Structure 1
Amino acid sequence: MSHGSFSAFKHALAQRLPYELWIGWRYTRAKRNNHFISFISLTSMIGIALGVMALIVVLSVMNGFQDELRQRILGVASHIEVRSFDAGLPDWQHVQQQIQSIPPKAFSSPVQGMAPYIMAQGMLTRDQAVQGVLIRGVLPVQESAVSELASQMKVGQLNALQAGKFNIVLGADLAQALGVRLGEKVVLMAPQGQVTPAGLVPRIKQFTVSGIFQVGMYEYDAGLALIHMDDAAKLYRMGDQVSGIRLKLADLFMADRVSRELMQALGPNYYITDWTQQHANFFKAIQMEKRVMFIILALIVAVAAFNIVSTLVMAVTDKRADIAILRTMGATPQAIRRMFVVQGAMIGVIGTVSGAVLGVLLALNIETVVPWIERTFNVQFLSKDVYYISDLPSKLMWSDVTAIVSLSIILSLVATLYPSGRAAKMNPAEALRYE
């Protein structure tokens, strides 16, 4: 396109646009005599872009961290648990049949699997090593329907737990603390003792390590051991009772609603809890931290956005003669106000869009960028010894991006109110007196 045709195109475009918008846009990209104004405009754009980018990346990491922990916790824990108000659940087969007989449409989310379990405390010993653990008695086939432990086995198999064999599956950190490997023996002591002439003696049974799992959560890897449910019933003298029934849902976020629906279907004789109650404080803490991080980083955007105030105040002073001439040519105060609102809004929009694009790109590639930074500078952001997870996860939520972009643009528009109002109130005669 030639220079003449391009000038004609700009003229035609100017004729179609409101003159306030056209002049405001020209002011934004014009080369000013006062370079300090241009510098402040540039720093405002950069500040808004960095703030928006930081907000998107940090919230994406928080979302990823929360999602990763939720998956790891619920890979071992249950979505819903059905228990009795007494110590055990004696009629668990009947309860399972009741739940299976309920039409799937009666639930907000279908029940994908059920498994009975026995939960008890115990102490594992080998040589001089002693570790307190949670013992979970399971039926391996049904357990695979409600947890991901079968797919998290480092060595051995979950199906190696067989009734009467007295095999045991340990978490990786627990096995390391006891110093045992596959095929070696450990001794399990149950705190419920038996009375003998010599006094109260704890029940003791030797188990063979038939598997080691690792889910990536220290709480489970260092404190959970699995045995067959029949072996647990014998050791803890549960008889035909179990501690409860674990349920897995198609949609874990419907657990709260489904638990209420189950309570109505089964009646008041059962105690029903879901993962949102069992781990409520943990996930509330993450959510609170996310809100606090949003507020703190939003202040960065706010500071950068309100730099627009100083930019426009100096621009109004610099354009006194232009404003006066426009007023004498018939421009209304509202038109003058809109010119400087457009100028400030363009600074905010350019900074916001730039930051949003950079933030989205970084959030989508953070699992590649962070390892590169760790290798290049020989640092580690998340130590396995301190944090639940060692990798920095990221989950971009477009609702967060929309909220951040909207907040940034609104703050930019708010920042234009005072300077544009000052320009609209300018007296043309006073402005021209010193020109």
Structure 2
Amino acid sequence: MKKGIVAIVGRPNVGKSSLFNRIIKQKKSIVENTPGVTRDRIYGTTEWLTREFIVIDTGGITLEDQPFAKEIKIQAEIAIEEADVIVFVLNHKEQLTEEDKMIARILYKTKKPVILAVNKYDKKTNDYVQYEYMSLGLNEPIMMSATHGIGIGDLLDSVIKLLPSANDLNPDMNSRIAIIGRPNVGKSSLVNSLLNETRMIVSEIPGTTIDAVDSVVKVNNIEYTIVDTAGIRKKSKIFRNIEKYSYLRSLTTINGSDIIILMLDSSETITDLDTNIGGLAFEEKKPIIIVANKWDLVEDKEKKILEKEEEIRSYFKYLAYAKVLFVSTRDKTRISKIFSSIEDIKVGLTKKIKTSVFNEVLNKAQLINPAPNFNGGRLKIYYGSQVEAYLPTFVLFVNNPDYAHFSYKRFIENQIRLQFGFEGVPINIIFRERK
């Protein structure tokens, strides 16, 4: 399920990073009094009133001729374009500036919901000062303090009201399949093979695709939306603004997709960048298929296939649930298996396990391998059940969740997968104290 996106914008030194840290409940952005410290967009995921959404912290938009000023403005504008809701932050301790008014003019053109948040406010100040901010024409401001937590609840309530519903975020209802990977692994060639036509520009020059492109294909009377994305590079190699734009589009495409195809070049060694890209999809809890392309370039295929899969598994230990397919987009071999894997994932996402059967598996698992002593006690699982959720989610009622060692959590997950499948699908296991 796609999450809504909230962008925090404003001129330098109004407290955007402090607000970002307060919302995501961790110190991720650098907070300093020096204007312009946040140069690139910084992302975080948070939850309010059971609604999960992504927050983007942006660099301050400024008129001054400072280093990175132009780049910061472009990055902020990109974030504004991708956002569903925009929080425009002002500094209550300073008067409105030309930069504030310039940002307001930019926001007028977006036609997106804008929340005016006046930071560094204390309740000792008279309320009449709010009318000065209303002159910007962006509705009544929310007076707040990111440092002291004043008004944060009101701000987040407003954000939740303005975020689009899940149906609005996924209007076509088709399964959205995003293809991600580093440059030149054959993403566009795979799209062409899946569509059985030349829809994308295919080139040996890395970085030909600079935007996410949607294409609809029907297979066995089932429609799929295939999304080709720009190749994700190392951050140190993202120089041009257009590449930063592509990087953001790739991230938002992952967020908005139902299933992810992670493409690798099977003729080359796995790189750290490959594993980092896979981590982006893993962190978003997305079903994943690992597709190793260019298998036609590998010699002694029959001998190498097990060796290559073992290599891939060793690099992607956190994606143990993902299926690995070896394909050749040039020869169009094994391409059809991608769609059958997608259908298997869709079955896994909707699979419901009877509580009685699930508890039999739990009991047998504890007999096979009793939980070890951890944190001063031994975990005892009394019973469990599957609950309604987008991803398969199981709640286990135990004597004390603190006794659950991570290795035993992994053992329980492996037992669930062994008995019930869920290949390609991440599952959630929640340990809850029985009361």
What TM-score do you get using the length of structure 2 for normalisation? Answer: 0.20
What TM-score do you get using the length of structure 1 for normalisation? Answer: 0.20
Which is higher, the Rg of structure 1 or of structure 2? 1
**Which structure is higher in helix share?**
1
